[in-house]
Structure 1
Amino acid sequence: MVEMRDARSRDAWRPGDAWLGGGTYLFSEPQPHIRRLIDLSRMGWEPVRVTEDGDLEIAATCTIAQLSRFAEGRDWPAAPLFERCCRAFLASWKIWNVATVGGNLCNGLPAGPMISLTAALDGVCRLQAQSGSFREVPVADFVVGAGIKVLRPGELLRSITVPARALSRRTAFRQASLYGLGRSGALLIGSRDPHDDELALTVTASTVRPIRLRFPLRPNAGAVHEAVAYGIRADEYYDDIHGLPAWRRHMTFRFAEEIRRELLDEEDGR
């Protein structure tokens, strides 16, 4: 990196440019392909707010600490999920106060807990092109592989919107790591919609992309097992030093059934 520019200057985008949010990833290792950073820190975007319709709008520059503080004490049934996903970073307070929600999504890593959180709550990314035009992409479709996103050259993640209906869901959270303070090897989130009783299961960390499994009717153990077995291809399980695909697959089946019981059977007194 040889140059830093203010994003407000609206310079023409060129090869070798990169948007700078918190920089916790960009500055963590060499980035020889990046020649210029476009700093978003002075854009003045409100970190997080509730809209008139009750939706939650999270700016890409919102830090993990800001999101955690905002969700604390809220009366949404899904509110505890925010803290659980923020804690999944296993990072120091220094990182919490610098790392951004948008940066975590744009890294596109399987273990990105902000991807897990916003995908599980039907979040939608608002993307801005260099021309100023916008398009919207569901978080579940934003990351399509390990580190691979649908961002076009020069396109900016402006914000993520979580619909009010998703905030009213009861949720269940499961996470596994090979080490006590290690990166997530499997992270599953279940949610139950109080309006139509639909159960949704979001699989992340164990897979190269977020995978959403929906059950309009209450599933039994066999239905959940079948959905995981046929809904996730063998080559979609991630393979790195934080877990072999076979272990990640095993934990995915195990957590899926635990979540089903927590959100359905136990509530029904079975």
Structure 2
Amino acid sequence: MYMNTNTRILAPEFDFARPASLAEAFALLRKHGRGARLLAGGTDLLVQMKMERLSPELVVSLAGVKELDGITMGDGLTIGAGTTIQSLSRSPAVGARFAALREACNAFSTVSIMYMGTLGGNICNASPAADTAPALLVHDASVIIASAGSERRVPLAEFFAGPGKTVLKPGEIVTEVRLPAPAAGTGSAFRKISRVVADISQVCAAVSLVRDGARITGCRIALGSVAPTPVRVARAEAALTGAEGTADAFAKAAEIVAEDIRPISDVRASESYRRHVARTIVRDALQTAWQRAGEGATK
């Protein structure tokens, strides 16, 4: 048992387990049910426990489960859910073809958080402000969800169910994140605005464009901190698809984004400020992605 009477650290009692395999992790989840919580990097769970918002009976660390770690490049990209943000930010495979994801990882809080935080933890936390989520959405990511007896693949766009909520069922673990290979002529970019570098975003946005000559033949635009979940903006995507890649077209699409998002006012930013920022960073990201798409390689 772990116990500390200093409520600024970890007040509740809890058991701790460090399985060496997914099979062991599944067995622990099956035995302890909803009383167990998974620990990846711990950058969110430990904060929630210190603030006494969560009091799990058992903390199951996935740090020893090597099956969850690693980046594999094939036709697309397969990322183990336990892969750290720092590893992603430095990966040549990510940097070469998935620029928006690389930039999202580079914008991820502090260096210490980047070394501890994992991709799986970031998306399973299901924060509307998760930095990697918009980038993964524009790269058409899906997640592999496994349990003791089954495995399923879920598009990331269908994974988030609300603030702090996902489609994960009891006993399930996200094991991988998969990104298909981008089409030729693809460019992508990520932008983030926050109060200070280490803060979560006031608004973050990612875009991906497919360029064929002077025209846009494919487009994805996603944002964080502007709705209950990370979201794509379908109307803006449709407005750009088939259009010429001009500054005017990008400005009009950014205006649609500002109209269609659903931001709130809170301690970090007002609703009107978030709309203004969204318009600005989406326009900038589109221009950058368009330029990258014309450089002869997917980025």
Specify the TM-score bucket, using the shorter chain as the normaliser. 0.7 to 0.9
Q: Once structures 1 and 2 are overlaid, which stretch shifts more, 175-184 or 102-111?
A: 175-184
Aligned to 2:199: 182
Q: CA RMSD in A?
A: 2.8
Cα 1:225/1:88, change in 2 over 3 Å: closer
1:139 corresponds to 2:156: yes
> How many angstroms apart in 2 are the aligned matches of 1:167 and 1:4?
47
Cα 1:144/1:68, change in 2 over 3 Å: same
Secondary structure, counterpart of 1:119 in structure 2: helix
Secondary structure, counterpart of 1:249 in structure 2: helix
Secondary structure, counterpart of 1:75 in structure 2: helix
Which amino acid in the other structure matches residue 184 of structure 1?
S
- Tell whether the 8 Å contact from 1:182 to 1:242 is kept in structure 2 after alignment: no
> How many angstroms apart in 2 are the aligned matches of 1:203 and 1:187?
6
Aligned to 1:200: 220
Q: How many matched pairs?
A: 260
Alignment partner of 1:157 out of 134, 156, 174: 174
Secondary structure, counterpart of 1:165 in structure 2: coil
- Tell whether the 8 Å contact from 2:250 to 2:286 is kept in structure 1 after alignment: yes
1:65 corresponds to 2:86: yes
> How many angstroms apart in 1 are the aligned matches of 2:94 and 2:292?
25
Secondary structure, counterpart of 1:140 in structure 2: helix
Aligned to 2:253: 224
- Tell whether the 8 Å contact from 1:121 to 1:166 is kept in structure 2 after alignment: no
> How many angstroms apart in 1 are the aligned matches of 2:291 and 2:18?
53
TM-score (norm 1): 0.83
Aligned to 2:56: 34
Cα 1:265/1:143, change in 2 over 3 Å: same
Aligned to 1:101: 119
The Cα of 1:223 is off from its aligned counterpart by 4.9
Alignment partner of 1:3 out of 12, 15, 24: 15
Q: Once structures 1 and 2 are overlaid, which stretch shifts more, 106-115 or 179-188?
A: 179-188
More helix per residue: 1 or 2? 2
Larger Rg: 2
Between the aligned residues of both structures, percent identity stands at 24
Aligned to 2:229: 209
Which amino acid in the other structure matches residue 163 of structure 1?
P
> How many angstroms apart in 1 are the aligned matches of 2:91 and 2:291?
32
Secondary structure, counterpart of 2:91 in structure 1: helix
Equivalent runs, 1:166-177 vs 2, <5 Å? 169-177=186-194
Aligned to 1:124: 142
Which amino acid in the other structure matches residue 218 of structure 2?
E
| Structure 2 residue runs without a partner (length 5+) | 1-12, 295-299
- Tell whether the 8 Å contact from 1:198 to 1:218 is kept in structure 2 after alignment: no
